[in-house]
Amino acid sequence: MEKPSKFHRHTYVGKGTEGADEYGYKYTWNSAHPDLEPTQMFYPDKYQNHPYCFYCGEKPYPIQAGLRDSNIPYNKRDYSVTGYMCTCVGAAAEISYRQDLIKLKELHAQDISELRKSYVEKLNPNLEKQFEIKMKYQRKELESELKNGRNYFSFSDIEMIKI
Ligand SMILES: [Zn+2]
């Protein structure tokens, strides 16, 4: 019933043993395999306790990512599930799509970084000039405020200063 995948462990149990294949190997799902990735699930009820593969409709395999090597007590970690995955064609395509998308994004990020590098000299602001203009405007503002008789001294301002 179980289709062996690269995430299955196989052990020799002897021909004719229950669950063994024609060569005497039994395949068991390695839920702690480091390459396991959750795939899209379909939940038939609102309680979401019964996941089925979104693509093939079969029951998925549990993932126990990182649990085996953790310090969580064995009785908790062995029965804890961090996600589900299927090994069917659709689920494999989903994983491949995600990986391709990541690669494309990385590639794109490199292009953007190179584009930025090639423009950084040309997109150089004249900070000296900006400062000059800013000072000119501030001077104008001050002059007009002084002309309008504003008194700059304020007790509340100096009382705010903590000594
Ligand atoms: Zn599936």
Residue 65 has what pLDDT?
75
Beta bridge partners of residue 26, listed in sequence order: 11
Residue 1 has what pLDDT?
39
88 Cα to the center of ligand 1, angstroms: 4
> What pLDDT, in 10s, does the model give residues 82-134?
899 999 999 999 999 999 999 999 999 999 899 999 998 898 889 999 999 99
More confident residue, 152 or 59: 59
More confident residue, 160 or 134: 134
> What pLDDT, in 10s, does the model give residues 54-90?
999 999 999 987 665 556 666 666 668 889 999 999 9
Beta bridge partners of residue 85, listed in sequence order: 61
Rg of the chain taking only CA atoms, in angstroms: 33
Q: What is the rounded CA–CA span in Å between residue 88 and residue 11?
A: 22
Q: What is the rounded CA–CA span in Å between residue 5 and residue 30?
A: 10
12 Cα to the center of ligand 1, angstroms: 27
Residue 3 has what pLDDT?
65
Residue 159 has what pLDDT?
77
Residue 145 has what pLDDT?
82
Integer CA distances (angstroms), 137 to 59, 78, 125, 126, 148, in order: 71, 70, 19, 17, 17
Helix (H) or strand (E) holding 85: strand 83-85
58 Cα to the center of ligand 1, angstroms: 6
> What pLDDT, in 10s, does the model give residues 9-27?
888 888 888 888 889 999 8
18 Cα to the center of ligand 1, angstroms: 25
> What pLDDT, in 10s, does the model give residues 133-149?
999 999 998 888 888 87
pTM above 0.85, yes or no: no
Residue 43 has what pLDDT?
93
116 Cα to the center of ligand 1, angstroms: 43
Q: What residues flank ion ligand 1 with Cβ within 5 A?
A: 53, 55-56, 86, 88, 91
Domain ranges of the chain: 31-118
38 Cα to the center of ligand 1, angstroms: 11
